[in-house]
Amino acid sequence: MSLTVNELASMIDHTLLKPNISNKDLFQLCQDAMKYSFKTVAINNAAIPFCKKTLEGSGVLCDAAVGFPLGQSTIETKVFETIDAIEKGAGEVDYVVNILEIKNDNWKYVEEEMQRIVEACNERKIVSKVIFENCYLTDDEKKKLCEVALKVKPTFIKTSTGFGTGGATLEDVKLMKACVKDEIKIKAAGGIRDIQSVLAFIEAGANRIGTSSGVKIVEEYKKMVSNQ
């Protein structure tokens, strides 16, 4: 793989979504993101104003988590949260699908939810990512979600929140890639903690990586590149 260190770093959403943190932790997250030129800091929405101010002028974006992590808010709530996050300074939005309605086989609801959230992002020229939370879905449900995404066209579809019973798997990324080809980008997230995993996910079709181990991963890649 011929990625430069900077190209790899620009594919990382540097993540801090735990509830028991302070502004000191968020400040360090932002400092690391600026130092390594990560694409975004992926944060809960209450942290957006602080991180937006800290990142000002750096080019690193705030990536908002909407309906996180369960996805069980109403469509109206998620749309409001999306718009509010953008108005507060989010440059990208990751939202969790309503798994209840997937299990209810209510694909009309799932499509309407996706359409309205993606539309809210598109109107504001913001990147949208749909979190499938694959650990709770059958392969058929994953494929149906991909079919909905192909109709609605979010910027990305994403494997996981990192808060479910499982995270990203190569099998899921390969399945998602086979379904959407190059029409929609893929974000792998959840349990990705080393450079070997990152490179395997990119090889499988991932265009973006969500991880709280971004610093470690880039440092590992620097060593790998310098030894070649």
* Cα(176)–Cα(180) distance, integer angstroms: 6
* Cα(77)–Cα(196) distance, integer angstroms: 38
158 is catalytic: yes
Q: Can you say how many angstroms the Cα of residue 21 is from the centroid of all Cα atoms in its chain?
A: 20
Tokens found for residue 78: 């998620």
Which one is catalytic: 39, 94, 142, 177?
94
| In the chain, alpha helices (H) | 5-9, 23-36, 48-54, 75-88, 99-103, 107-123, 139-152, 170-180, 195-204, 214-226
187 is catalytic: yes
Burial class (CB in 10 A: 0-12, 13-18, 19+), 172: buried
Which one is catalytic: 158, 172, 177, 185?
158
C-beta separation of 191 from 161 below 8 A: no
- 29 closest CA partner among 40, 96, 147: 40
103 is catalytic: no
- 102 closest CA partner among 65, 78, 70: 70
- 94 closest CA partner among 40, 141, 47, 137: 40
Active site residues: 94, 158, 187
